[in-house]
Amino acid sequence: TTIANHTIDSCYVQDTTWEEGVLFRFRSMSSKNLLTTVGELIDAIVELYLKTVIAPFLHFHEIFYSSLNRALRQLLDDHKHHIPDWFTANLITYVRTVVVVPTLVLLSWNHAVLPALLVLAVDFGDFLDGVVARYWVDVKKERAETAAASDKDKKNDPALRTPSPTNSDDESFEVVTTGSP
């Protein structure tokens, strides 16, 4: 096949084969245009892959993780009084980070099963730290509301008020506001 009297990138090409025309076109393109074209091609391939291969599994992924989220949250709520304050999302993240080192060491010693289990545990930890973070946000909000209600009750009930110090040598003091500037 030949390309006769066609303009490619502002250059007049006569009687060249199709392959020569394509090569000429790529040679005459700037590297930015070539990179843009390659980037657009990769983007189209990734979009096709995501829509045809990945998208059908996202529904099952969502069902699994939402069920797991509800189960773990219920577990945390059921054992609220037994969960120590130091069990935070940051602790889980630190542990996940530390587990990377033994995983790499085991992989370098040609172990496969234990590092695979550690990677799965780290992935689960990634999910768990989000659940724990949301749990502690809710617990702190609940504690703040309880404290605010308790403070309101103390202000309204004279029997619950903290007495003023009677000894001037006492290191504690009470702040009194009068309402005027």
Could you tell me the mean pLDDT of each successive run of 10 residues in the chain, 181 residues long? 43 51 53 80 91 88 91 93 92 94 95 95 92 93 87 68 55 54 50
* Residue 36 pLDDT: 86
* Residue 117 pLDDT: 96
* Residue 111 pLDDT: 95
* Residue 5 pLDDT: 44
**C-alpha of 26 from chain center:** 41
Distance from C-alpha of 11 to C-alpha of 28, rounded to nearest angstrom = 9
* Residue 21 pLDDT: 53
Distance from C-alpha of 121 to C-alpha of 136, rounded to nearest angstrom = 22
**β-strand pairing of 2-3 with 11-13:** unpaired
* Residue 137 pLDDT: 93
- Residue partners of 28: CB distance under 8 A and separation at least 6: 8, 9, 11
* Residue 102 pLDDT: 95
* Residue 79 pLDDT: 93
H-type alpha helices, the chain: 18-28, 31-49, 55-78, 89-108, 113-156
